[in-house]
Chains A and B, each alone.
Chain A
């Protein structure tokens, strides 16, 4: 086993007497504890000033039929340097209870409700045990990620009720919106409690689009899983497929050729670019500044047509595969990308110049939808929304993947956490992406763009992979099954982490500003609901 880094060694020393087992997988230390100690240790990681650990992911794996065990994993990212550390707890045989860490760590709130719904383990001491994924009409005792639950079960529709939180008092009324709402948008239910104009409480109810992705993964082989990963969230097709491929490649101990790493970086940045440009336009449009939308949607369309010409798909589906990329670009195509982006950059620069001096627009964006740094930290908020609230995290810098270790990258950081800060982060990242694409086109090495796969992974081996998609950190945990299959694939889109904080950002704002705030986060419903 490799030497543990100092900080982790210190943690191990502190809890030596309670540690059940310790292993290191892909360089990530995994510390096994008894369930009665987990709350204390998780709280220690989270609260100790020198560690300031953030819960990045919590998930459960049903190890049946191999072992009669349910294992719960807790992935922590430690402050500065972003070292990963995994805690694990085994629940033996019929044991279904585990202590909730939510009372100490807010970020675990949805994860634990999800575990209860999907695997049927009950977080004892959790403050909110309502169902999350399973809506009220699901039959009792349906826990779909248990190994004895057949994936093609036809669920029977039952009667049931869901209790919303209510505020009562004179002049307080509720405004329910959705699940089918607004213009062309995914379904979600928003329930505002207002007295007069300001929002006193917002309850967000999602998972309308739950398609059973994690269960469908278990039917696929490691190699074929890519096409499902592309459909987790359409706008991040490339980010998700890349993250999945990386996990499988490290499972199969495959080294991707350097050219493929550069091409992946290029495509990932192009995906970031068109989404960010589209978002800037859409946010301005929600503040009734249609000029920006017209220009931005035009630039976005230009990039998507470019992608279609390069890869044969506007969302880059079919480009990633385990072992590299299916599309290689020649030097004239790379020059073509640079020429197209130079044109876009020119227009975008002109546009941002007029955006940030437009008083009527900035007045709508400033101080709207403030997400406080403390709230963001407590919930482990990721990506654009995090960096607008002074959360200095970016996978591209903290855990470089693809070709990022060879490229220079600045991570924009803003403090105020309002809509304007989120727009600013996007604008800065657009310029940063353009710079990365130029570096890639300059430095890209020659060679093959993919390699054939001959290796296989033993059942039970797992790998974890992270990618900074345009929304934020995407995580995949893939555990190999029998005969090249998948035993468990945990997918975590950044939206799942960021959705719960939207209710805090909306507090005190007026309902007509909510679309603006929502757009400034622009979270995926599909990636969240899975």
Chain B
């Protein structure tokens, strides 16, 4: 036990040990920024998977690890849409998930910010026109910000979230 603590102390802080994102930050509309302003320096997110391959989920999870530590920017994950300021939706919307997505949208208090995360959520990716897919997220609910990538790297997701929150990463 003490050995591992000693090593951790010796190692120092690991937060921030990741390469900077090289892809341009997605465009954020003023309307989206204004919505985010209400929440000041925090954003509570409910992640909704409507048919992704779980790659996007893994990268969202990675945001919470000690290296990215999104909590330091006030980004939290909520278990219920009723506690969320924002929804992050991944995956093409499947025929089986369409109703659930709309239910979640209705349960989220206004002015809910909606992110479409990953290529599938933005334009259905390889599943476009498949019988089991009913179209991209924005066909069913209004989307504020789109974060492309298959899946987007955690640093790219973080950069986009911070752009919406109008915060830059502390040096």
Contact = CB atoms under 8 A, between A and B. Distances in A.
Q: Do A and B bind each other?
A: yes
A211 B65 contact: no
A216 interface: yes
A315 B151 contact: yes
A151 B131 contact: yes
Contacts of A212: 127, 130-133
Contacts of B99: 137
B94 A208 contact: yes
B100 A211 contact: no
B161 interface: no
A181 B127 CA distance: 24
Nearest to A185: B57
A209 B49 contact: yes
A26 to B, nearest CB: 28
Most buried by A among B96, B125, B130: B96
B54 A301 contact: no
B47 A183 contact: yes
Contact of B95 (A155, A233, A300): A155
Contacts of B67: 298, 301
Contacts of A211: 51, 91-92, 94, 127, 130, 132-133
A153 B131 contact: yes
B66 interface: yes
A443 to B, nearest CB: 31
A389 interface: no
A232 B100 contact: no
Given A180-B81, A182-B79, A184-B47, A524 B95 contact: no
A185 B129 CA distance: 25
A526 B14 contact: no
Contacts of B97: 179, 187, 208-209
Nearest to A314: B153
A28 interface: no
B92 A351 contact: no
Interface stretch (B1-9, B29-37, B139-147): B1-9
What's the dominant secondary structure at chain A's contact region? loop
B62 A297 contact: yes
A128 B171 CA distance: 60
B55 A294 contact: no
Interface residues of A, number: 56
Contacts of B27: none
A231 B90 CA distance: 13
A503 interface: no
Contact of B132 (A137, A210, A294): A210
Contacts of B61: 184, 297
A119 to B, nearest CB: 15
Contacts of A347: 4, 7
Interface residues of B, number: 51
Contact of A180 (B4, B94, B100): B100
Given A298-B66, A350-B7, A235 B58 contact: yes
B24 interface: no
Contacts of B57: 184-186, 234
B48 interface: yes
Interface string B4-22: 1001000000100011000
A73 interface: no
B77 interface: yes
Interface in A479-524: 524
Interface string B97-113: 10110001000000000
A522 B48 CA distance: 18
A316 B100 CA distance: 31
A210 B48 contact: no
A52 interface: no
B156 to A, nearest CB: 11
Max chain A Cβ within 10 angstroms of own Cβ: one of B65, B79, B129: B65
Interface string B32-48: 00000000000000011
Interface string A125-155: 0000000000101100000100001111111
Given A347-B7, A354-B4, A209 B77 contact: no
Given A234-B53, A297-B66, A298-B66, A215 B153 contact: no
A123 B77 CA distance: 44
B56 to A, nearest CB: 7
A365 to B, nearest CB: 18
A350 B95 contact: no
A231 B14 contact: no
29 contacts: A152-B129, A152-B130, A179-B100, A180-B81, A182-B79, A184-B60, A184-B64, A185-B57, A210-B96, A211-B91, A211-B94, A211-B132, A212-B130, A212-B132, A215-B130, A231-B126, A234-B56, A295-B4, A297-B62, A297-B66, A298-B66, A300-B62, A301-B65, A301-B68, A304-B62, A314-B59, A314-B153, A525-B54, A526-B54
A-B CB proximity, top 3 nearest:
A234-B55, A212-B132, A297-B65
